[in-house]
Structure formats: structure tokens, C-alpha cells
Amino acid sequence: MWSTEYDIETEAPAERIWEAWEDVASWPAWNADLERAELSGAFAPGSTITMHSPEQDLIELRIVQAERPSVFVDRADLGDIAVTTTHRAERLADGRTRIVYAIEISGPAADTVGPELGPAISGDFPQVLAALVRRAEG
């Protein structure tokens, strides 16, 4: 297994973060690695999200957990590995919100594939989180 986690704090309430997550079609506005994103169904477990990169790569995610306004989890099943990303909006005692993106690569090939694929997937998380905060605070 391979895993990592990134976080950032914001003045925006968790509900504003959730609104940005739930509006899948607007993800490219704050995630520069996306050209387009589409939600099939409601923003709820069992629905799928298809992300299109500028290079025309397609990534299909299945929502496995969605608890408004605090957490949603998506998973990409890629044969010998599964990439699970947990997105959390944690209310802090001072009224701020901590946004956490945690990624875990599991499965039979995780120990060999994870150390290369994991950083490739999560390397832009700091920039994505910063852009998400700008959008939520705007």
C-alpha cells in the first residue's frame, strides 16, 4: 500500500467546500489538470465521475462515500490497484475549516506501482487545494 495526505486551512465554511465538490462540472475552474468533468447520477455513493485531461486521458471514479458537508471518497479501480481519494472538510474550533485530501493506492501491485503513480496523481494537490480555497472564499 502507498498513501499520502495534504491539507490546507480556510475561512470558508465546510458547506462552501462541499458546494464546490458537488458541482463536478466546475472542477476544471479550480483544477488545472482537468479539461472537463462529468457526474453520472447524483453526488452520492454509486455514481461515477469521469474526468477528462487536456491530453484526452479519461479517468473514471466511483463515489463510495458522500456525507454532506464533511467527506466524500472516490475510487478508481485500475486492475491490480485501486486508487482511493478521501476529501474531508473538517470544522476547526476557531471557526476555520481544514480541507484534507488523502490518497491510498492498494491492491496486489500497490507496492511496486504506488511509489511512482502516487506522487504523479497527488503532486498537484497543494495547488488544487489552494485553488479550491480561493474559489470557496471568493
Question: Could you report the per-residue pLDDT of 42-81, keeping only the tens digit for each?
Answer: 999 999 999 998 876 799 999 999 999 999 999 999 999 9
The pLDDT of residue 55: 78
| Per-residue pLDDT tens digits for 9-51 | 999 999 999 999 999 999 999 998 899 999 999 999 999 999 9
For the chain, report the end-to-end CA distance as a whole number of angstroms. Answer: 37
Q: Hey, which residues does 62 pair with through a beta bridge?
A: 48, 75
Q: In the chain, what are the domains?
A: 2-137 (3.30.530.20)
In angstroms, the CA 116 to CA 31 distance is: 21
Strand partners, 101: 6, 87
C-alpha cell at 22: 458537488
> Looking at the whole model, is its pTM more than 0.85?
yes
How high is the pLDDT of residue 71? 98
In tens, the pLDDT along 100-129 reads 999 999 999 999 999 999 999 999 999 999
Q: What is the mean pLDDT of residues 80-94?
A: 96
Would you say 110 and 2 are in contact if contact means Cβ atoms under 8 Å apart?
A: yes
Angle made by CA atoms 116, 119, 120, in degrees to the nearest 5: 80
